[in-house]
Chains A and B, each alone.
Chain A
Amino acid sequence: MAEFNAMDTAAFKGVWVFCEQREGQIQTISYQLLSEGRKLANDLGVELCGVVMGSELNEDYIKALGGYGADRVYYIDSPLLKDYTTDGYAKALCDLIMDKKPEIMLIGATNLGRDLGPRCAARLHTGLTADCTHLDVDVEKYKDFLRTTSNIDVDNTKFEENTNLKMTRPAFGGHLMATIICPRFRPQMSTVRPGVMQTQAFDEAGAAKVVVEKVTPELTADDIHVEILDIKKSAKKLVDLIGADVVVSVGRGISSDVEKGIALAEELAGVLGGVVGASRAVTDEGWLSSDHQVGQTGKTVHPRIYVALGISGAIQHVAGMQDSETIIAINKNESAPIFDVASYGIVGDLFKVVPELIKEIRAAKA
Chain B
Amino acid sequence: MKAIVCVKQVPDTQGKVAVKADGTMDRAAMATITNPDDLNAVEAALQLKDETGCEVVVVTMGPPPAEGMLRELIARGADRGVLVSGREFGGSDTFATSQILAAAVNKIGVGPEDIVFCGRQAIDGDTAQVGPQIAEKLHLPQVTYVTDIKKEGNAVVVKRQLEDGYMELKVNTPCLLTCIKELNNPRYMSVSGIFECYDKPIDVFDYNTLKDDPLIETDTIGLKGSPTNVYKSFAPPVKGAGMMVEDAAQLVGILNDKHLI
User: Which of A's residues lie within 8 Å of B, judged by CB?
Assistant: 83-84, 86-87, 90, 110-112, 114-115, 117-119, 121-123, 125-131, 146, 148-152, 160, 164, 166, 170-185, 225-234, 238, 272, 290-291, 296, 304-305, 314-316, 322, 326-329, 339-348, 353, 356-357, 359-361, 363-365
Contact = CB atoms under 8 A, between A and B. Distances in A.
Contacts of B210: none
Nearest to A341: B239
Given A122-B133, A173-B123, A346 B167 contact: no
Nearest to A227: B170
B89 interface: no
B252 A127 contact: no
A348 B71 CA distance: 46
Contacts of A359: 248
Given A122-B132, A232-B167, A346-B246, 16 more contacts: A117-B132, A119-B132, A130-B128, A148-B237, A173-B17, A175-B13, A175-B25, A226-B170, A230-B168, A233-B165, A234-B164, A304-B260, A344-B242, A345-B243, A356-B247, A364-B256
B98 interface: yes
B136 A119 contact: yes
Given A149-B236, A173-B126, A180-B228, A226 B242 contact: no
B123 to A, nearest CB: 7
B231 A180 contact: yes
Contact of A111 (B129, B144, B247): B144
Interface residues of B, number: 78
A166 B11 CA distance: 26
Contacts, number: 256
B245 interface: yes
Interface string B135-166: 11100011111000000000001001111111
A328 B245 CA distance: 10
A254 to B, nearest CB: 18
Top 10 A-B pairs, shortest CB-CB distance? A127-B227, A127-B228, A118-B129, A356-B248, A122-B136, A130-B127, A225-B141, A360-B252, A118-B132, A150-B234
Given A117-B129, A151-B235, A182 B227 contact: yes
Contact of A176 (B164, B235, B241, B248): B235
A356 B248 CA distance: 6
Given A114-B128, A232-B166, A170 B236 contact: yes
